[in-house]
Amino acid sequence: MRKIGIFGGTFDPIHYGHLRPALEILDAFSLDSMLFIPAGQPPHRRAPRASAEQRLAMVRAAVQGEPHFQVDERELKRSGPSYMADTLLELQREYSGAALVLVLGTDAFLGLPGWERWREVFDYAHVAVAHRPGWWLQAEGELASLLAERFDANPRRALERPAGSILLRPVTQLEISSTRIREEAAAGRELRYLVPDAVRELIIKSACYRKES
């Protein structure tokens, strides 16, 4: 069974804090590919600072050279808010028979019940929670029940099915945030080692964050 990772986000901008965990999840679960999907209109946060075209260009620049990383721009082309349930349904239909693995950080997973049609996610994909080494998920309410029902400690076994499980995986946590990068760029400070050089060059050339106070 083909195994495809799904890594969504606003990527405003994409940085090493996204890329390193994505690579570790790819390797840990022997995924065939990892799709980076920039959000068009994120429903749970303010509009991205950089334009859709600029964010897409940065994601493409960031993943170049890694053959297992791919960019999917469907959410940027879709009108209206970007709902992951819609995206996963489309991907399930396109990659019939494949196991889809949605990669979430711990904060995103803990916020899952606030997503539109969040329970549908498990009809279309597994969810891999990328967390800090030594950390254990402290879930309550709906999430605690969900973990009791869907957590699988054996990823190899879980990924023999196309969807439905929760997987936990410790990954390297780099203390980098897109907010900080935008602030650094707005102040004209150096971005080297926060983002890939190709992304840094695009940020400098476009000046997409220079007006942010």
Give me the CATH number covering residue 146.
3.40.50.620
Please report whether residue 85 resides in a domain. Answer: yes
Look up the pTM and report it.
0.94
Please report whether residue 210 resides in a domain. Answer: no
Please report whether residue 123 resides in a domain. Answer: yes
178/41 Cα distance (integer angstroms): 17
Encoded tokens for 87: 């995206």
pLDDT tens-place string over residues 35-63 = 999 998 877 777 899 999 999 999 999 99
Q: Tell me, what amino acid is at 19? A: L
Please report whether residue 70 resides in a domain. Answer: yes
Domain encompassing residue 68? 3-173
4/20 Cα distance (integer angstroms): 17
Please report whether residue 178 resides in a domain. Answer: no
pLDDT tens-place string over residues 49-108 = 999 999 999 999 999 999 999 999 999 999 888 899 999 999 999 999 999 999 999 999
Beta strands in the chain (DSSP E): 3-9, 33-38, 69-71, 99-105, 126-131, 166-170
Rg (C-alpha) for the chain, rounded Å, is 17
Please report whether residue 168 resides in a domain. Answer: yes
Q: Is 189 a residue whose pLDDT tops 50?
A: yes
Domain count, the chain: 1
Omega before 162 within 30 of 0, i.e. cis: no
Please report whether residue 74 resides in a domain. Answer: yes
Task: Convert 21-81 into a string of H (helix), E (strand) and C (coil).
Answer: HHHHHHHHCCCCEEEEEECCCCCCCCCCCCCHHHHHHHHHHHHCCCCCEEECCHHHHCCCC
Angle at 47 between CA 11 and CA 75, to 5 degrees: 60
Please report whether residue 160 resides in a domain. Answer: yes
Long-range interactions of 149-156: CB distance < 8 A, separation 24+: 150/122, 155/28, 155/29
